[in-house]
Amino acid sequence: MSATAREPYGQVLVRLGTAQKGAARGAPAYSRFVNRRIGRYLAAAAYRAGLSPNAVTGVSALFTFSGIALLIALPPSWGQGAAVAVLLALGYAWDSADGQVARLTGLGSPAGEWLDHAVDAVKVVTLPLALAVGFAVHDVVAPAWLLVPLVSAVTSSVLFFAMILTEQLRRAHGVQSLAPTDGRFPWLRSVLVLPTDYGVLCWTFLLLGAPTVFLWVYAAITVCTTGFLALALVKWFREVRTL
Over its C-alpha atoms, the chain yields an Rg (Å, rounded) of: 19
pLDDT of residue 187: 67
- One-letter amino acid at 22 equals G
More confident residue, 202 or 10: 202
User: Residue 32 in contact with residue 193, Cβ under 8 Å?
Assistant: no
User: Residue 97 in contact with residue 37, Cβ under 8 Å?
Assistant: no
CA distance 44 to 14: 9
Mean pLDDT to the nearest integer, 196-217: 95
pLDDT of residue 94: 96
pLDDT at residue 119 tops 50:
yes
pLDDT tens, 85-109? 999 999 999 999 988 888 888 777 8
Lowest-pLDDT range, 28-37, 48-57, 111-120, 162-171? 28-37
CA distance 82 to 85: 5
pLDDT tens, 60-88? 999 999 999 999 999 999 999 999 999 99
Lowest-pLDDT range, 30-39, 138-147, 170-179, 189-198? 170-179
pLDDT at residue 243 tops 60:
yes
pLDDT at residue 25 tops 90:
no
pLDDT of residue 5: 59
pLDDT of residue 99: 86
Per the prediction, the chain carries an average pLDDT of 88
In which band, very low, low, confident or very high, does the pLDDT at 181 lie, cut at 50, 70 and 90? very low
pLDDT at residue 182 tops 60:
no
pLDDT at residue 185 tops 60:
no
Distances, alpha carbon 60 to alpha carbons 49, 88, 94, in Å: 16, 9, 5
pTM of the model: 0.90
In which band, very low, low, confident or very high, does the pLDDT at 22 lie, cut at 50, 70 and 90? low
Closest CA to 146 of 157, 159, 156, 131: 131
